[in-house]
Amino acid sequence: MADGDVVRFRPQRPAPPQTSQQGLEDRLKSLFGSAVIAVSAFPGQHFFLEGDPASGIHIVRRGSVILYSITEAGGRHIQQIARAGDCFAVDFSHPHRLNAQALTEADTWHLPRRAVSLAVDSEPEARNFVFNLMDQQLRAARFKSELLSSRSAIQKCAAFLLTIEQPAGAGGEAPLTRIALKRVDIADYLGLTLETVSRMFNRLKKEGLIELPRHDAFRIADRARMNALARDLQPGEFALAS
Amino acid sequence: MADGDVVRFRPQRPAPPQTSQQGLEDRLKSLFGSAVIAVSAFPGQHFFLEGDPASGIHIVRRGSVILYSITEAGGRHIQQIARAGDCFAVDFSHPHRLNAQALTEADTWHLPRRAVSLAVDSEPEARNFVFNLMDQQLRAARFKSELLSSRSAIQKCAAFLLTIEQPAGAGGEAPLTRIALKRVDIADYLGLTLETVSRMFNRLKKEGLIELPRHDAFRIADRARMNALARDLQPGEFALAS
DNA sequence: CGTTATATTGAAGCTCATCAATGAGCGTGG
DNA sequence: CCACGCTCATTGATGAGCTTCAATATAACG
């Protein structure tokens, strides 16, 4: 339970990747050896479906994967958006309760359930690693329910954009961040409608909080105000030009 | 990673207690020996506060404990309501990110961080136990975010009541379930206002879905319709007398 | 180009929050 | 025992915010 490689808590950010790409790959190989399987998928393909037997741990190497469930009324609820460095399905003792679908072209590493089980039983390092992944999942889930509760649509959207933002490299100008999700996907993630998401994005643009040169790319223009919004501002404090 | 004592997934229910009171106590003693500490609190007292160093695992023996955070605007967000058999703060590698407050008189077991750490490293049984607790936490968090997303107030309230309901003993009449939380607590948990919670409860009563003889006790009167509501019905399917 | 998928924008209506007043329950002290 | 104060729940009126339905615009691609 050493604290050494535990990811530090960052408010307003769900589980960030814990190491660099290469470092992570090395780590996986050293902990799980040849059991590490590379799995890729095209947009729309599923890694697994609800009800499938537990498959083990999945880690995103490239692209985006959504974890969703379907309600009886046919509504889709996106529980998690896993991006490079994020893990999913770490809860490996049950049949899957969510569908895992590639949103973009996506490469992942798959650690089969049995290999994880063996490694965890024999290797303290592996155990620690898996604990951290579970913790990462837990924090992602908490972050999401915090996002959903009692925030207005504009706050949810601002928080969402801050979450998916690719921060600037040291010193450089902040780059444009691609929005890999369609409006309807974002809506299903935030518990809004696609129209509302669209309206809020354009409101943030009009107010100068973000740049939105294309419908699928943005840049934070006023970070202070974005942060204030994404935290929990008094409703009136985000006065809009009428 | 044996499946043997893993809690089976139950839709619409967060992590149920995994064993009986006595069984759980025996299990704890055998796994963690004398490290198990009994901790009690009066209503309103805190077990720990946000920012406190990680304390280890807590398990509720009697009463209710709420886990909440405070937003910058002063709003309270109740992340989890832990009742007898539930665990909290299993994520033990970080400073606490939530406040843990006794809602009622509450008795808990506390497994200090270090003792857990030692046991997990040496005892496969203990490891398994802790994994299950983490999984329980994760499922509770997922359940909550499902509860919050895209459900109407009436659905949230119905789902909440089903969640806290004490099911009938075999064959017997369903007992009245005490509502330990105040309206404002329920509201902070569901992301609603206390007035809306009150209105929805009374609407469910008027429609004959529940009995509500006192403001702090209820019984499910029409389980089929309650279940249908708590799942995800088409908006129109819950027609109310106007 | 024309076609399809996605995004934006508008208008109307419904749900829920807000503000405000009233009611019910309960303990305390006269 | 009743009056008072306190806490919590209920109920009403109003308005803001979001969804819904519908129309239009933009982008991607053959």
Give the CA diameter of chain A: 63
B155 CB neighbour count, 10 Å cutoff? 21
Nearest to B124 among A3, A121, A132 (CB): A121
Q: Report d(CA A92, CA A113) in Å as an integer.
A: 7
pLDDT band for position A13 (cuts 50, 70, 90): very low
Of A94, A47, A85, give the one whose Cα is nearest residue A66.
A47
Chain A interface, best mutation among B1, B117, B186, by max A CB count within 10 A: B1
pLDDT band for position A25 (cuts 50, 70, 90): confident
Pick from A25-29, A45-49, A82-86, A94-98: least confident: A25-29
**Who contacts B208 (Cβ-Cβ below 8 Å, separation ≥6)?**
B221, B222
Q: How many residues does chain B have?
A: 242
Q: Is the CB of B195 under 7 A from strand D?
A: yes
Res B149: pLDDT: 82
Tokens of A175: 């780059």
Res B108: pLDDT: 96
Indicate the helix (H) or strand (E) that contains A204. helix A194-206
**Is residue B1's pLDDT more than 50?**
no
Protein A69 CA to nucleic acid C23 C1', in Å? 44
Q: Which residues of A touch B6 (CB under 8 A)?
A: 93-94
**Is residue B64's pLDDT more than 60?**
yes
Q: Report d(CA B89, CA B47) in Å as an integer.
A: 10
Protein B68 CA to nucleic acid D19 C1', in Å? 30
Q: Look-up: residue for tokens 């309501």?
A: B81
Which positions in strand D are less than 7 Å from the protein's CB atoms?
A: 8-13, 17-22, 27-28
Mean of pLDDT over chain A: 84
Q: Report d(CA A83, CA B161) in Å as an integer.
A: 36
Q: Is the CB of B233 under 7 A from strand D?
A: no
pLDDT per position as a tens digit, A79-134: 999 998 999 998 777 899 999 999 989 999 999 999 998 898 888 888 889 988 98
pLDDT per position as a tens digit, B227-240: 999 886 544 444 44
- Helix, strand, or coil here: A27? helix
Check residues B15 and B225 and name the one with the higher pLDDT: B225
Protein B216 CA to nucleic acid C22 C1', in Å? 20
Res B88: pLDDT: 94
Res B20: pLDDT: 63
- Chain A closest CA to B19's CA: distance in Å? 18
pLDDT band for position B124 (cuts 50, 70, 90): confident
Q: Which residues of A touch B75 (CB under 8 A)?
A: 150, 232
Mean pLDDT of B35-55: 94
Res A94: pLDDT: 82
pLDDT band for position B71 (cuts 50, 70, 90): confident
Res B19: pLDDT: 53
Res B11: pLDDT: 33
Give this prediction's pTM.
0.86
B149 CB neighbour count, 10 Å cutoff? 25
Q: Report d(CA A169, CA A174) in Å as an integer.
A: 7
**Is residue A240's pLDDT more than 50?**
no
> Residue B88: exposed, middle, or buried by beta-carbon count in 10 A (0-12, 13-18, 19+)?
buried
Q: Which residues of A touch B233 (CB under 8 A)?
A: 72-73
Q: Which percentage of chain A shows pLDDT scores above 90?
A: 53
Domains defined along chain A, listed by start: 21-147 (2.60.120.10), 153-237 (1.10.10.10)
Res B195: pLDDT: 98
pLDDT per position as a tens digit, B192-238: 999 999 999 999 999 999 999 999 999 999 999 999 998 865 444 44
Tokens of B208: 């004959």
- For B36-59, letters b (16+ CB in 10 Å) and e give beeeebeeeeebbeeeeebbbbbb
- Chain B closest CA to A150's CA: distance in Å? 5
Task: Tell how many helices (H) and how many strands (E) occur in chain A.
Answer: 7, 11
Pick from A57-71, A189-203, A224-238: least confident: A224-238
pLDDT per position as a tens digit, A132-159: 898 888 888 888 988 898 789 999 999 9
